[in-house]
Amino acid sequence: MSMMYMQGSFGEILKAHWRGTPVAVKRILPSLSEDRMVIQDFRHEVNLLVKLRHPNIVQFLGAVTDRKPLMLITEYLRGGDLHQYLKDKGSLSPSTAINFSMDIA
């Protein structure tokens, strides 16, 4: 694994390389690896991402669900997610907000 990209209350997101391609790896924190609710939420996220295919949703590549640490692997987006974008840029102009909304719909 490469460098830490982001950390939240349940896990951390790392930038790594898989077969020469940059990927994002969401890894559950070791301190929460036995928490049933965290594991349930993680498995729900995996099951949801497996079913989704859309140009505006990160592409699911794989998951580690049979051993610790639990990990979710997706395509790596250099600009980060929408939350990070809003944190960095502040409020959106009305036209940008409309464009984002149309892309999400």
pLDDT of res. 10: 82
Q: Quick check: 16 and 22 in contact, CB under 8 A? A: yes
Q: Which pLDDT band, with edges at 50, 70 and 90, does 8 fall under?
A: confident
pLDDT of res. 24: 93
Q: Quick check: 15 and 24 in contact, CB under 8 A? A: yes
d(CA 98, CA 105): 10
Q: Is 83's pLDDT higher than 80?
A: no
Rounded to two decimals, the pTM is: 0.77
What are the tokens at 87?
A: 């944190």
- Comparing CA positions, the residue from 36, 38, 18 lying closest to residue 28 is 38
The fold adopted by the segment(s) 4-79 is Phosphorylase Kinase; domain 1 (3.30.200)
